[in-house]
Structure 1
Amino acid sequence: MKATKIIYWVTTAIVALMMAYSAYAYFTQPAIAAGFHHLGYPDHFRIELGTAKLIGVILLLAPVGARLKEWTYAGFTFTFIAAFVAHTAAGDPAVNRTMPLVMLCVLAVSYLQYHKLQKGVQKTALARG
């Protein structure tokens, strides 16, 4: 159980830090705004996505209900897949296409460890009850 917790928190922290940084960059870096235009997205989408990422980071790290946590993981999954598709369709370099897939894998590990931890909590509660 201890290894599961460590893997969960490390992978979750990586996702949270990357999403928090990208949200910050969406709001502050002109190069990111230019990148969104390159991909064909309107400027307001950059602000909406940055805001959604910050909300997702909070929900990923906060002790919220299972359903809300599931939606948070789903939202980040959609974001990473959409980023891969957008960069591929735009003909961007391989690093721009593969980084969302790498982050998707890190998110998947976090998600699997989250469920292992939830099963451990349920087993402990059943044993006590």
Structure 2
Amino acid sequence: MKATKIIYWVTTTLFFLFEGVMPAIYGNSPLAKEGFAHLGYPDYFRVLLTIFKVTGALVLILPFFKGRIKEWAYAGFTFNLVSAAVSHGVVDGLSNGQTFFPIFVLLILAISYFTYHKIFGVPSK
């Protein structure tokens, strides 16, 4: 059980850094604006996504959030990461590393999710 908790906290912290801290710091940078424009998304979507990412990452990292809200955060990030991989794949092609990075982050999220359920005894369906 101790190893499972360590894996949970390492993956959740990594995910928090990728999807919570980085968007909070760099979500308004010229590079982020250029990236969203390159994918064909409007600028307001970048702002909205940054707010949702930071909020969702806080829900995942803070231990007093439990139950349905945490499940919704995991689901929202799953939709976001799959959509990001598809967007990059369609616009940039499969040879671009940015296409596969969201899948890598999704794997980290999946490990966090399954270890969360293993620790807290919430049956995964």
Contact 2:23 2:54 in 1 (8 A): no
Query: 2:89 maps to which residue?
Result: 88
- Measure how far apart 1:11 and its partner are: 0.2
Contact 1:24 1:50 in 2 (8 A): no
Q: Distance in 2 between matches of 1:78 and 1:116?
A: 22
Q: How many residues align?
A: 119
TM-score normalised over the length of structure 2: 0.90
TM-score normalised over the length of structure 1: 0.88
Contact 1:36 1:46 in 2 (8 A): yes
- Deviations along 1:1-49, one digit per CA (max 9) or x if unpaired, are 100000000000000001121342112x101101101100000000000
Moved runs in structure 1, 4+ residues, more than 2 A?
none
- Output aligned runs, 1:13-52, within 5 Å: 13-19=13-19, 20-27=21-28, 29-52=29-52
Identity %: 43
Structure 2 letter corresponding to 1:119: G
Q: Distance in 1 between matches of 2:91 and 2:49?
A: 19
Tell me whether 1:4 sits opposite 2:39 in the alignment.
no
Bigger-Rg structure (1/2): 1
Q: Distance in 2 between matches of 1:58 and 1:38?
A: 28
Cα RMSD (Å): 1.3
Contact 1:84 1:101 in 2 (8 A): yes
Q: Which has the higher helix share?
A: 1
Q: What runs of 5+ residues in structure 1 fail to find an aligned partner?
A: 121-129
Q: Distance in 1 between matches of 2:11 and 2:105?
A: 10
Q: Distance in 2 between matches of 1:114 and 1:65?
A: 10
